[in-house]
Amino acid sequence: MSPSPCAPDALTLFAQCLKTVPDPRSKQGTSHPCSTLLAVVLLGLLAQVSTPAEIARWTKRHFGKLSKFLRFGKIKGELKSPCDNTFTRVLKKLSLADLQNAFAEFINALLQDTTLVAAVDGKVAKQMKDDNDDPILMINIFAQKLKLHLASWSVHGDKTNEPACLKKHLEELFTMYPFLKLLTGDAIYAQRPLVEALQQYHCDYLFQVKENQPKILAKMKVIFKDAEHQEPNDVMPRKKRGLQSLVVCG
């Protein structure tokens, strides 16, 4: 999608949306705007620069270009590049919800009325631990065709809690992305409370039903017994861990 002639360029729009994120620092002793620091961090991540020290060096190396569209603070009357401790102080206190809302505002501004199709999937962050020293499990929403990560939430417990976690955050998800019209996922999400909640938001769904879900599978076979069966030309039937699967959609 190409922007309208009077629309600001994407980087400027991105920086404007980040201004909605509350600054978690105290006002005393802050030199650089929070939105500038967040923009630099996310641009650094796109450049595969991941730690505060690396981001600080990357910022210094590209400071001339970055300062053309981002507002940096002055020290003794001269524009200065942020140090790694500056990035660390912001990131430690940052609210994930505030950041996701700002990112959603940016994506919606770029895509405008584009219908979104997304997939939900749980992933374990094995190199990150919670307060109990257990790996952090997150559910993630991906717009695969657009190669965009839309949102994430922590699942407090084992993998079987993923559907309940998603149901809990549906209002937040559809507030951020009102044009999300189809959600796909694996068999763990084919549960009545979740799909009924999705219908309240007028969102279609496409989930698998496996042989280890015998009650749901039996009902789906009855419902679709008279439906025309046609395999896609470019997709071969697959088994996963020896289980046949059926797709359920709404």
- Who has greater pLDDT, 127 or 10? 10
pTM: predicted TM-score of the whole model, two decimal places: 0.73
Closest to 51 in 3D by CA, of 100, 17, 85: 85
Other beta carbons within 10 angstroms of residue 176's beta carbon come to 21
pLDDT confidence tier of residue 235, bands split at 50, 70 and 90: very low
- Bridge partners of 78, per DSSP, are 75
66 and 133 share a domain? no
182 and 224 share a domain? yes
86 and 45 share a domain? yes
Burial class (CB in 10 A: 0-12, 13-18, 19+), 29: exposed
Distances (CA, A) of 176 to 37, 99, 128, 151, 170: 23, 11, 26, 9, 10
Quick one: DSSP state of residue 65?
Answer: H
pLDDT surpasses 90 at 38: yes
The predicted-structure confidence for 187-211, as pLDDT tens digits, reads as follows 889 888 999 999 999 999 998 887 7
| Overall domain count for the chain | 2
**Is 102 inside any structural domain?**
no
Structure tokens given for 225: 């017994």
pLDDT confidence tier of residue 74, bands split at 50, 70 and 90: confident
Q: Which residues of 129-154 are buried (b: 16+ CB within 10 A; e: fewer)?
A: eeeeeeeebbbebbbeeeeeebbbbe
Structure tokens given for 182: 């189809």
pLDDT confidence tier of residue 222, bands split at 50, 70 and 90: confident
Region of 147 on the Ramachandran plot (φ > 0 left; ψ -120 to 50 alpha; else beta): left
pLDDT confidence tier of residue 78, bands split at 50, 70 and 90: confident
Residue 51: give the domain boundaries: 10-96
82 and 153 share a domain? no
The Cα–Cα gap between 141 and 180 comes to 11
pLDDT confidence tier of residue 6, bands split at 50, 70 and 90: very low
**Is 107 inside any structural domain?**
no
Collapse the DSSP code of 239 into the 3-class scheme (helix H, G, I; strand E, B; otherwise coil) and give the result: coil
